[in-house]
Amino acid sequence: MYQLETEAFFDSAHFLADYFGRCENLHGHRWRIVCRIGAEALQETGSEAGMVCDFGRFKHAVRTLADSLDHTFLVQEGTLSPETITALKAEGFALTMLPFRTTAENLAAYIFRRLHEEGFTPTQVEVDETPNNRAIYQPENGKG
Ligand SMILES: [Zn+2]
């Protein structure tokens, strides 16, 4: 299999509800995402001949995804009261509401799905929340 890999960064805050440790408190990370797409065969015709896909198109998609999360507060739906959400928005804070616990594992799977929805064939997404700690999502069937 041929694979392309690119990385991007974003800064955002989060907390883990119902977690009994430091991560239950609001804190931030410089998240690093490393995305891979793959193909068994290269494109045979057109401007992407000899490629898995145009690297520029892939990089742009990954950066756009990272930018959509950058400098926002990643909030798992249902973990803050409506009053708190209203107050944060009234202060002008940017919230990204997500239907899952905002762990590195879930973010990796989320980014994988988003790339798939955009027509790419992701094979693996890595999310680092610190230089030493990372989660890797690599579904067995490659479909996510
Ligand atoms: Zn964290």
Parallel, antiparallel, or unpaired: how do β-strands 27-39 and 2-14 relate? antiparallel
Task: Yes or no: say if 33 and 10 are a contact pair by the CB < 8 Å rule.
Answer: yes
Please give the pLDDT value at position 51: 94
- Sequence spans of domains, the chain: 2-137
- Ligand 1: distance of its center to the CA of 3 in Å? 29
Please give the pLDDT value at position 22: 84
**DSSP secondary structure letters along 54-91:** -HHHHHHHHHHHHHHHTTEEEEETTSS-HHHHHHHHHT
Please give the pLDDT value at position 116: 97
- Ligand 1: distance of its center to the CA of 106 in Å? 12
- Ligand 1: distance of its center to the CA of 129 in Å? 7
CATH class entry, domain 2-137: alpha beta
Task: Yes or no: say if 107 and 10 are a contact pair by the CB < 8 Å rule.
Answer: no
Q: Can you say whether the dihedral through the CA atoms of 77, 78, 80, 84 is positive or negative? A: positive
- Ligand 1: distance of its center to the CA of 122 in Å? 25
Split the chain (144 residues) into runs of 10 and give each run's mean pLDDT.
Answer: 97 93 92 97 94 95 98 98 97 98 97 97 96 94 60
Please give the pLDDT value at position 137: 98
**Residue among 118, 120, 106, 144 nearest 3 (CA):** 120
Q: DSSP code of 41?
A: S
- Ligand 1: distance of its center to the CA of 41 in Å? 38
**Hunting for tokens 């989320």 — which residue is that?**
110
Please give the pLDDT value at position 142: 57
Phi, psi of 64 (to 5 degrees): -65, -40
- Ligand 1: distance of its center to the CA of 62 in Å? 21
Please give the pLDDT value at position 114: 97
**Hunting for tokens 């410089």 — which residue is that?**
30
pTM: 0.93
